[in-house]
Structure 1
Amino acid sequence: MPVVSPYAEQLDRIPVQERALLVDGAETRFWDYGSPDAATTIVMVHGFRGDHHGLEPVVAQLSGFRIVAPDLPGFGSSAPLTTSAHSVDGYAAWLGRFMEALAPTGRIVLLGHSFGSIVSSAAVAGGLRPDDLVLINPIAAPALQGPRGVLTRLAVFYYWSSAKLPRRLGFAFLRNKGVVRIMSVAMAKTKDPSLRRWIHDQHDQYFSAFSDREVVLESFTASVSHDVSEYADRIPTRTLLIAAERDDITPVAAQFVLAERFADAQLHVIPGVGHLIHYEEPHDAAARLTTFLAAEPPADD
């Protein structure tokens, strides 16, 4: 039985439409929150193995914006990419074409969480030009060098094993509920038992919503082979980094180094939280985002 979201009442107050766009002949499903006439549109890119649901707690804390949250190709309800591998380059190119097809007006903010921070950074470094870039739990350095690099190496072995097994068995192994729960327990830092229970339920529901084994293996390889630091010095866009004090994937020290590589970046570190800012501290992330956007409105052309 699903656990009720602690953010459900806030989210229910925001109007939403489920929509779809054809990008390179494949359907991308996305959720369109708020007023389509809002002066600012925030496009949110979720992390590895998740879908748009993961960022809904942040959506729930925001008001006065149009928020567009697609499922990455091959995850959630979106079809896989048809013209490229599910690599950082493939996803970055898809994001540019999705934004072009969406054709939002007014101020455009691009927000990426975790793997979405890599995809978003690669897209902007490649020429996509939002007015502002926001990265939550940015992957600031190679994941294998993070505070819990041993766990990342175990994950590499898990995905490698899934690739070596016969297709049906490997697919089942990727969706193994016990493995998903181990991942969820390792990432959650909150001591609140009800919040932990909801986080685990979210991962149970959505962490295995992928189209096939190849999508997961390709995107996992992309997620541990690249990081935001590869792209930062080619990003001219004003950027907000929202990092976590207890992130197991990227040490805080690497976030400060990363911030210096951008042409114009602010870094905020949220204490006591890990790689699940979007679940555990969405109100803090949303407040920092709102303050960032209010501080310097875009100049008129």
Structure 2
Amino acid sequence: MFVDVDGAQFFVVSFGRGPRTLVGIGGWTGSWEVWADVFGVLSQHWRTVGIDHRGTGVTLAATEGVTFAQMADDLLAVLDQLGIEQCVLAAESSGAATAITAVAQQPHRFSGLVLSGGLYFQPPTNEPSPFLLGLQAAYETAVDQFIRASLPETNDPALIAWTRKILLRADQTAAVDLYKLTLGLDLRPLLPQITLPTLLLHGDADRMVPLASSQWLASQLAQGQLHALPGAGHAPMITFPQAVAAAIEGFFKT
């Protein structure tokens, strides 16, 4: 289904029924589908909701000049329209920046947080980003390189092809706009405001965001707990969905 927010059309899916709701968002150009296999497990006991953020999946929303604050506003507006008063919010990679911003804005809306390979800080540099230059010069080639770096633990052609289809639903302009958001990102000042139970998932083979980043984040959050996933790269929701689902279920067990 599509949810209208100020003329933008956000694509939303929902599976399962249960006393708890888990809302999943992707990072960069990853749509809700990065959580699909995890939802397949958790929807036996949870209501699971996936949202395609701006520029991803089949959502129709402009990305020019977008900020993480705006994406957090989008998320909160979609939750309002769905009648979700409170949920556990799950985000991966740069989606963590949207999640942290949303929780800082309206902490009462969230009972817990799951960040997988979460990106919250990207040191500024005077050098041009090689990946950004690659996106601008040869989009599909850059995406293929990103997938290989993100999923070092698998050579499964079906899994790689599925991931490619997910990412390439975003056009080149959206991919560039969304990647630029991460350059110089620094949400460390918001961390003292994140006091809810937070599960930090991180593959110990992650080449995109080092494990040390989540180790430090766990030390800064009032209720942060790190769960390292042996052998996993940057997208364990795709390659280790059972382990990710079990970690979420265990952390938020009632």
Conserved in 2, the CA contact under 8 Å of 1:109 and 1:133? yes
* TM-score when normalising by structure 1: 0.76
Kindly provide the amino acid, as one letter, of the partner of residue 130 in structure 2.
Answer: L
What's 2:151 paired with? 188
SS at match of 2:41: coil
The RMSD of aligned alpha carbons is: 2.4
SS at match of 1:44: strand
Spell out structure 1 runs of 4+ moving beyond 3 A: 227-230
Residue correspondence of structure 1 range 23-34 to structure 2 within 5 A: 23-34=5-16
Residue correspondence of structure 1 range 175-254 to structure 2 within 5 A: 176=140, 178-191=141-154, 193=155, 196-210=156-170, 213=173, 215-226=174-185, 229-254=188-213
Kindly provide the amino acid, as one letter, of the partner of residue 205 in structure 1.
Answer: K
Are residues 1:114 and 2:93 paired?
yes
Structure 1 residue ranges without an equivalent (≥5) = 1-18, 163-172
Conserved in 1, the CA contact under 8 Å of 2:150 and 2:208? no
Q: Of residues 69, 83, 87 in structure 2, which corresponds to 1:103?
A: 83
The CA deviation at 1:116 is 1.2
Conserved in 2, the CA contact under 8 Å of 1:87 and 1:218? no
* TM-score when normalising by structure 2: 0.89
What's 1:158 paired with? 134
Aligned length: 251
**Partners in 2 of 1:102 and 1:45 — Cα distance?**
15
Conserved in 1, the CA contact under 8 Å of 2:29 and 2:167? yes
Q: Of residues 40, 43, 47 in structure 1, which corresponds to 2:23?
A: 43
Are residues 1:72 and 2:45 paired?
no
What's 1:169 paired with? none
Residue correspondence of structure 1 range 256-295 to structure 2 within 5 A: 256-294=215-253
- What percent identity do the matched residue pairs reach? 22
**Partners in 2 of 1:284 and 1:204 — Cα distance?**
22
Structure 2 residue ranges without an equivalent (≥5) = none
Change in Cα spacing, 1:197 to 1:89, as seen in structure 2 (3 Å) is same
SS at match of 2:222: coil
Q: Could you report, residue by residue, the CA deviation over 1:236-267 in whole angstroms, capped at 9, with x for unpaired residues?
A: 22111111111112222222111111121111
Conserved in 1, the CA contact under 8 Å of 2:96 and 2:120? no
**Partners in 2 of 1:111 and 1:240 — Cα distance?**
9
The CA deviation at 1:81 is 4.2
**Partners in 2 of 1:227 and 1:241 — Cα distance?**
18
